[in-house]
Amino acid sequence: MKLDFDGLKVNYIQYGTGKDIILLHGWGQNIDMMKPLADPLSEKFRVTIIDFPGFGESEEPTTAWTISKYSELIETIVHKLKIKKPIIIGHSFGGRVAIYYSANHPIEKLILFGSPCIRKNKNLSLKVKILKGLKKLPGMNSFGERMKKYIGSRDYKAASPIMRQILVNTVNEDLSSMAQKIEEPTLLIWGENDTESPLNEAQELEEMMIDAALIVLPGTHYAYLENLGRVLNILDSFLKGGK
């Protein structure tokens, strides 16, 4: 199914009955990455999964979106699909959108998997320092884009120019102030060997939030899939009843 937002066709699926759950996938992923969770949850809930614009079957944005714009998309989906006070589940980039949305709109509960929130100033490697220094030399302005392709992350290298700018916009935004505003019960599920969003960041996130609990599982950035049966049991317990 498709809906219109900001001139784009956004792909989504919705199935099941009961309280509403919205599932938000990570960067470079699509609806299919959330279906292993959504399919069992649809036995008790109405689940909605979207392809973020630029991924899956959704059209690519024509401007460089920020986290705020993605939150506006979720707001529009909630309105158009007549969703009331949803439970939000987000993985990685989807978790960042979930944090922003949940800080500014009514939700029932929030569940985050490996969702980086706190912007860190990381030490640059020698290679990065050298390449950045070369860019400043006379006549090297055109070197910028090639440099970014060389030193950038795997996600950055794989993205189109507009999606690269969106990635830069979104990963550079510190969402600590948003996380601190969320009053609803929040469950953080992290892989102990997550290198994309290290465990210490999850521990900091748990400390800054009003009502959050951290569960650490074996595995990586995709611990929610690597421990699917256990995660579904945890969610079943967390989602029973009201707050």
Residue 133's region, left for phi above 0, alpha for psi from -120 to 50, else beta, is: alpha
**Bridging pattern class, strands 8-15 and 212-217:** unpaired
Is there a single domain that holds both residue 161 and residue 58? no
User: Angle at which helices 143-151 and 126-135 pack, to 10 degrees?
Assistant: 170
| Structural domain ending residue among the three candidates 131, 154, 172 | 172
Is there a single domain that holds both residue 158 and residue 199? no
Q: What is the pLDDT of residue 153?
A: 60
- Which structural domain range is residue 28 located in? 2-119+174-239
Q: What is the pLDDT of residue 141?
A: 53
Q: What are phi and psi of 124, to 5 degrees?
A: -80, 140
Is there a single domain that holds both residue 70 and residue 136? no
Please report, as a single letter, which amino acid is at residue 219: G
Is there a single domain that holds both residue 95 and residue 178? yes
Is there a single domain that holds both residue 37 and residue 146? no
Is there a single domain that holds both residue 94 and residue 45? yes
Is there a single domain that holds both residue 200 and residue 232? yes
Tens of each residue's pLDDT in the chain, 243 residues: 999 999 999 999 999 999 999 999 999 999 999 999 999 999 999 999 999 999 999 999 999 999 999 999 999 999 999 999 999 999 999 999 999 999 999 999 999 999 988 876 554 445 444 445 555 555 555 545 544 444 446 676 778 999 999 999 998 899 999 999 999 999 999 999 999 999 999 999 999 999 999 999 999 999 999 999 999 999 999 998 655
Is there a single domain that holds both residue 62 and residue 128? no
Is there a single domain that holds both residue 143 and residue 193? no
Residues 213 and 186: beta-carbon distance below 8 Å: yes
Is there a single domain that holds both residue 32 and residue 145? no
Q: List alpha helices for 81-173, DSSP H.
A: 93-104, 126-135, 143-151, 154-158, 161-171
Q: What is the pLDDT of residue 151?
A: 41
Q: What is the pLDDT of residue 155?
A: 75
Nearest to 48 by CA among 94, 117, 103, 6: 94
Q: What is the per-residue DSSP string for 209-240?
A: SSSEEEEEESSSTTHHHHTHHHHHHHHHHHHS
Give, for 191, the enclosing helix (H) or strand (E): strand 186-191
- Cα distance between residue 89 and residue 77, in whole Å: 15
Q: Into how many domains does the chain fold?
A: 2
Is there a single domain that holds both residue 143 and residue 197? no
Q: Which residue has the tokens 């460089």?
A: 64
| Structural domain ending residue among the three candidates 131, 156, 172 | 172
Q: What is the pLDDT of residue 82?
A: 96
Is there a single domain that holds both residue 107 and residue 182? yes
User: Residue 160 CB: number of other CB atoms within 10 A?
Assistant: 10
- CATH number of the domain residue 12 falls in: 3.40.50.1820
